[in-house]
């Protein structure tokens, strides 16, 4: 595991910015491979062929491409997106897991990116065992979050209401969360459901 | 540094030492309308000064100290009226001190962290706060007036017939459960970058509130309700 490099793709049309980030990354302790794409379409293609871990993106490229971004996030849930914050766009904050500005120190940027790395590892580990929720419990949880009643959950998953109640009890025991709205926040934090799917 | 060293209180102990051993007793004093400057008084002397029965004071203090209530308590009607005052004062503290304080921390947190996740947390808290206010209003406007009538009036009062201690106990819910959820979400799951000062204040407020609510519910369920049931039984006999 230690030796597998981090695959980082930089989505940025400015060659100056790309070269700068590229040299910062290669001079750091991060063991990585860096790719470059110039737009969302190239990024989508890249994600299909390479096993990318982190995207560093100029959020300018996200403008009016919400559908594509949502799709990418859904298809590659363990991807981390780091935004380059030009201080002008809200998107840098909302669509990304972290952001830095071009005036941040290389140390800061490296720190940020290596944190994304460990985050990925713990996330993919968590995907196997969300506080040891079983696959079935995760399905029940998803239904709860979507506001379904026990009866509806039973019908959808083809199990008895009694079994649904048992699953709910186990979910509460394992997570320590009892209320429906609390479980919703839990499911979002654990990336079991997409926050975009939840109405606020 | 403070260590939690509370032992079972008895009436010959000095109140100041007791507060030192368990500072949560300050909240209890406040709910009893007792000033924090307790001088060198023993628990017994303090009770005499404020005209509170020693037995009641020590029982409630021991709930705060982490001990249970005795099974066979014989509280007087005057004691129970004081318990209701105590509970009302606690309600005031939740309504106008603790919940607004926690609410303001969450709002600040949301301002500093515009993520939708934190927005959800705020929504969660607001819904919870509304439920709590309903609970407190119900007790202040329906349950407590009933108990006060029961304790003060003669048995011919027909207005009382529509309510009973049992009915109150059946509708009595734990309002600290969702608080527990909120604490767990912040402690285990929701990812917030730094802002440690604010988050620590929020945690301390949550723990303070949670503990007081816990004791509060115990007082309602193990002192007020059983006493009410007893009085009703005697009157109907
Ligand atoms: Fe109450
Ligand atoms: Fe209550």
For residue range B87-108, list pLDDT tens digits in order.
Answer: 999 999 999 999 999 999 999 9
Residue B77's CB is within 10 A of a number of other CB atoms, namely: 12
User: Do the chains contact at A181 and B124, CB–CB below 8 Å?
Assistant: yes
| Region of A11 on the Ramachandran plot (φ > 0 left; ψ -120 to 50 alpha; else beta) | beta
User: Do the chains contact at A177 and B123, CB–CB below 8 Å?
Assistant: no
For residue range A69-123, list pLDDT tens digits in order.
Answer: 888 888 888 888 888 888 776 655 567 788 888 888 888 888 888 888 754 554 4
Considering only alpha carbons, which residue of chain B is nearest residue A193?
B117
User: Do the chains contact at A176 and B184, CB–CB below 8 Å?
Assistant: yes
DSSP A62: G
Could you tell me the end-to-end alpha-carbon distance of chain B, in angstroms, rounded to an integer?
A: 55
Shortest distance, CA B124 to any CA of chain A (angstroms): 6
pTM: 0.64
The fold of the A135-197 domain, in CATH, is Arc Repressor Mutant, subunit A (1.10.10)
Spell out the domain ranges in chain A: 6-128, 135-197
pLDDT of res. A199: 60
Spell out the domain ranges in chain B: 15-64, 77-236
Closest CB from B117, B177, B178 relative to A188: B117
User: Do the chains contact at B190 and A185, CB–CB below 8 Å?
Assistant: yes
Instruction: Tell me whether the CATH fold assigned to A6-128 matches the one assigned to A135-197.
Output: no
Closest CB from A179, A184, A200 relative to B119: A200
Specify the CATH class of A6-128 in words: alpha beta
DSSP for B29-55, please give it. Answer: HHHTT--S--TT-BHHHHHHHHT--HH
CB pairs under 8 A between A and B: 59
| ipTM of the complex as predicted | 0.72
């Amino acid at each position: 595991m230690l030796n597998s490099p981090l695959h980082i793709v930089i989505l940025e049309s400015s060659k100056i910015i790309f070269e700068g980030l590229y040299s910062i990354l290669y001079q750091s302790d991060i063991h990585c491979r860096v790719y470059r794409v110039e737009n969302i379409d190239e990024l989508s293609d890249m994600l299909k062929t390479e096993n990318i871990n982190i995207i560093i993106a100029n959020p300018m490229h996200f403008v009016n491409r919400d559908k594509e971004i949502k799709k990418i996030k859904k298809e590659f849930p363990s991807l981390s997106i780091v935004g380059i914050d030009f201080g002008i766009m809200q998107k840098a904050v909302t669509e990304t897991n972290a952001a830095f500005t071009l005036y941040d120190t290389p140390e800061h940027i490296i720190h940020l990116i290596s944190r994304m790395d460990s985050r990925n590892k713990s996330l993919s580990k968590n995907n196997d065992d969300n506080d040891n929720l079983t696959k079935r419990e995760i399905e029940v949880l998803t239904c709860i979050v979507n506001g379904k009643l026990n009866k509806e959950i039973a019908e959808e998953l083809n199990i008895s209401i009694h079994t649904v109640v048992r699953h709910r009890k186990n979910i509460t025991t394992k997570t320590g969360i009892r209320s429906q709205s609390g479980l919703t926040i839990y499911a979002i934090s654990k990336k079991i459901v997409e926050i975009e799917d939840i109405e606020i | 540094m403070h260590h939690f060293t509370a032992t079972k209180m008895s009436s010959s102990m000095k109140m100041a030492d007791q507060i030192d051993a368990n500072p949560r007793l300050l909240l209890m004093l406040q709910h009893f309308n007792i000033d924090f400057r307790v001088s060198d008084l023993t628990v017994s002397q303090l009770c005499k000064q404020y005209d509170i029965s020693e037995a009641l004071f020590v029982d409630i203090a021991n709930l705060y100290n982490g001990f249970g209530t005795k099974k066979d308590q014989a509280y007087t009607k005057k004691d129970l009226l004081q318990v209701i005052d105590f509970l009302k004062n606690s309600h005031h503290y939740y309504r106008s001190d603790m919940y607004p304080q926690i609410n303001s921390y969450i709002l600040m947190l949301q301002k500093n962290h515009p993520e939708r996740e934190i927005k959800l947390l705020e929504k969660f808290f607001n819904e919870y706060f509304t439920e709590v206010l309903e609970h407190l209003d119900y007790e202040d406007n329906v349950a407590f007036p009933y108990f006060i009538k029961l304790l003060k009036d003669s048995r011919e009062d027909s207005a009382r017939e529509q309510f009973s201690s049992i009915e109150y106990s059946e509708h009595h819910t734990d309002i600290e459960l969702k608080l527990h959820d909120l604490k767990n979400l912040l402690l285990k799951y929701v990812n917030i970058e730094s802002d440690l000062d604010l988050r620590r204040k929020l945690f301390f407020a949550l723990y303070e509130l949670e503990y007081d609510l816990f004791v509060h519910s115990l007082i309602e369920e193990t002192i007020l309700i059983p006493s009410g049931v007893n009085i009703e039984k005697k009157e109907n006999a």
